Chain A
Amino acid sequence: MQPAELNLARYSVRLDSETDFAGWRDAARRLALNEVKPEDIGWHVASDSTQTDLPAVPAGAQLAVPRDFIGHAETAFCHSDPGRFAFLYRLLWRLRSEPKLLSIASDPDTRRLETMEKAVRRDSHKMHAFVRFRKIGDGDDERYVAWFEPDHFIVERNADFFVRRFTGMRWTILTPYASADWDGKRLAIGPGAAKGDAPTQDDTEALWRTYFENIFNPARLKVKAMQKEMPKKYWRNLPEASLIPELIAGADKAAKDMIARMPTTPAPHHAKVQAKHWPKREPAEATEDDGATTISALREAAKGCRRCPLWRDATQTVFGEGPDNARVIFVGEQPGDQEDIAGKPFVGPAGKVFDAILDDAGVDRRKVYVTNAVKHFKFEPRGKRRIHSKPNAGEVQACRWWIDREFAQIKPDLAVALGATAALSLLGKAIPVTKMRGQVIEREDGLRVLITIHPSFILRIHEPADKDAERERFLRDMREVKRLMAA
């Protein structure tokens, strides 16, 4: 807005200060409700300027603006652009007939508002980051004082952040246009100051500079990236910044030195450390001890299993669980997400369903042995979830080595195949589970295998009536298990 135009304005509004948002809001409301066009208003912040009498709000008039406009305007108001008062009034003016204006990101005014807000937010963020306190006084007189030069009028806006963060400290932040002071109880916003009003040194800065020098990796010099986030204009008030030029100048040589420095002979204490802490190198691969004669020995041996590639992505081998003398072995498909984390079979959602139904059927879970056809979790990662993928025939075959040993050890009267993968593992061929469920198949070695579904099938049914019916069918199968155990 040109000064010449200011004089032509029909209304002249005087704001108390650069951050007098309440004054602007009140004036803008009166003017807009009296249909005063943006070009008929001159806005200024000056004690010597005069204010024309503003029209009163017409009786019963309501100014409807989108609720979020106030928040946006308050932020943009802190911008140092002298044209901001007129600009925000123009936005207000347009919003009356275009209530969706702020959602139209491609509109030039909306973009200007966003750019202003961004600048204010960035400056605020840099203030949170680059204020550097210096300590003066000791004991009861201890205070922390900082000198900071913001681009915009953000001291009032940011003071609360420092109060929340440094509640237990007495501090003052001085800037050219305003200051903020916290005495431990009360926040006071005061007038601006000069750099000379702030302390010039602090003993801790030597430590800080040492840290800055040493945390820097000269082999990764990226000066542009640094300056993008820490523009030079801030450097003069940062105690660490004076180190930057020499760090940059010496970086190349330092990095070359790193590379050139040939490996030396091991440090003198190295042999002693090795002898004391690592006396016996364990074999790299756990050997699968074929001589395991208990389930717990088998479980130990299976920890290092590499018979198929599934160990690579899983957390751990999930071995079977239950007493060595169990009369029945339940075989599931494979561990799921929860089982992979806990290292125990049937502890996830399907495991809970399984437990509840066993309980209803009167089967004591502590007396049965539960295991899986495949002992590592096979999955596809999807963000923070893991989608179960079906083990293939090769993986089932590889893991039979363990299943056979579990059976040889426990010698149960009955096996229960929970689902098709378990049936494949136990019978060596694909079985139509839904068709054959409830049937008992006798293996060549005399083992009886009861075929049923996997309890996770019940979880996947959405229709409550169908779900209940399926649960009932599974419960019947488990009652059959109980009958066969007793027989």
Chain B
Amino acid sequence: MTALTVLEKLAILSDAAKYDASCASSGSTKRDSLNSGGIGSTEGMGICHSYAPDGRCISLLKILLTNFCIYDCSYCINRSSSNVQRARFTVGEVVKLTMDFYRRNYIEGLFLSSGVVRSPDETMGEMVEVARRLRLDEKFSGYIHLKTIPESSAELVEKAGLYADRLSINVELPTDEGVKRLAPEKKPETIRLSMAKLRQKMEEKAEPTLRTKKRERFAPGGQSTQMIVGADKTSDDGILHTSARLYGSYHLRRVYYSAFSPIPDSSSSLPLQKPPLMREHRLYQADWLMRFYGFSQPEILAGSSDGMLDLAIDPKLAWALRNRGQFPVDINRADREALLRVPGLGTKVVMKILETRRHRRLRLEDVGRLCQSITKLRPFIIAEGWSPGALTDKAGLRGKIVRSCEQLSLF
């Protein structure tokens, strides 16, 4: 077998990484290179340097160190029984690629994951070495996200947190039963414990040390995870229940949902169909309702028949239609919490409404100027000179809103 070139390896090992949804480079501390004279900065907001035709942002160089793997998870292209072509980067090759791409402003940093070769510690050790060399040898201050292997030693995780902005461990599937069935060698309880340990470390390092009063660095961008949607039978309500548990228990910055994509040479235990992209989108919206709109997880789908999010309308509108008794909401008097529950009002618009109404009473057209479209909103609010009357309780309201939103998108 002839040795693969870096270009060939890159093709194989970025193809292998495309099933990981996260490419976020946000949420870390502000850093730049003015003092170090090196390369790289993080300024809070991540930057999407390009977009692939799948609509996904390309912010980081997202690659696997190797796609050789001793695990055999049926949903994974790199499982040991798969016939995919294998490759393995050296530590130096990843460091050089990252720096070459960064200097040309292609990327914000590196997202490094890996199949597990030989042992979790050996693989994790190489990933940490990549991060160490970037930080210390190359004076690199850009973003680094490391996929942590749950079984690796505490000492390696400690080092990973020292060099990386964000660490993540994938729960992969929403239920332990699903993990046991599709990833027989993975242990859900180990995944939980690893996340708990990361949270513990982050809290411990956030405290100033007794002796130096300085805070040690440990993954300032926090931890995240990913769940595959549609590879097993879990309902949306079940998925969101797991997300709420993960946010509450391990203080994750993000839970990523990845619509299950058919993989070449896939295992026969999985559905072969187009990925459920709309379902994924609705899950993200519901996730936002929990994180920014004050919804508790059970109320999002309370009263729905099958525990699934409506694919035709967004979860907030669906909730409002199921809870019409809470409406109409008076734009000029309601508190922030109530305004946030009005379909079509985002967090920024609510802030503007609160600010503006200190100086004048808002009419329907004023609200229209502040937000995208008034169509969705109108039946749910009272404004100066506007009351929806019986519109809120109309039986055909859902159809009416869906139709007018569709018409809007045609123009």
Contact = CB atoms under 8 A, between A and B. Distances in A.
Interface of A: 100, 103-106, 111, 125, 128-135, 144, 146, 161, 163-169, 202, 204, 206-208, 210-226, 229-230, 238, 240, 244, 247-248, 251, 255, 257-259, 261, 263-264, 266-267, 269-270, 273-274, 276-278, 281, 284, 303, 312-313, 315-316, 340-343, 379-386
B247 A384 contact: yes
A111 B369 CA distance: 8
Interface of B: 6-7, 10-12, 14-15, 17-19, 32-34, 36-41, 43, 47-58, 61-62, 70, 72, 80-83, 97, 100-101, 103-106, 139, 176, 180, 184-185, 189, 192-193, 195-196, 199-200, 244-245, 247-249, 251, 259, 261-268, 272-275, 277, 290-291, 296-297, 352-353, 355-356, 358-360, 362, 366, 369-370
Given A312-B176, A342-B200, 18 more contacts: A103-B356, A104-B359, A132-B105, A164-B34, A166-B39, A207-B101, A210-B7, A220-B55, A221-B54, A222-B277, A261-B264, A263-B267, A263-B268, A269-B80, A270-B80, A270-B81, A284-B180, A384-B251
Sorted from nearest, which 3 A-B pairs have the closest CB atoms?
Answer: A225-B55, A222-B55, A381-B248
Contacts, number: 250
A84 B316 CA distance: 39
Nearest to B57: A229
B105 A164 contact: no
Contacts of B39: 165-169
A259 B265 CA distance: 9
Given A164-B33, A226-B52, A269-B80, A379 B248 contact: yes
A208 B101 contact: yes
A458 B244 CA distance: 29
Contact of B103 (A166, A230, A266, A383): A166
A384 B36 CA distance: 35
**Residue of B19, B55, B200, B263 with most partner-chain A CB within 10 A:** B55
Contacts of B52: 212, 215-217, 226, 247
B130 to A, nearest CB: 17
14 contacts: A128-B47, A129-B49, A129-B50, A135-B104, A161-B43, A164-B43, A165-B39, A207-B97, A207-B101, A208-B104, A214-B11, A217-B19, A225-B55, A342-B196
Given A211-B10, A226-B52, A167 B32 contact: yes
B104 A220 contact: no
Nearest to A386: B248
A378 to B, nearest CB: 12
Contacts of B259: 220
A167 B53 contact: no
Contacts of B7: 206-207, 210
A128 B103 CA distance: 13
A221 B259 CA distance: 13
Given A105-B352, A315-B196, A144 B103 contact: yes
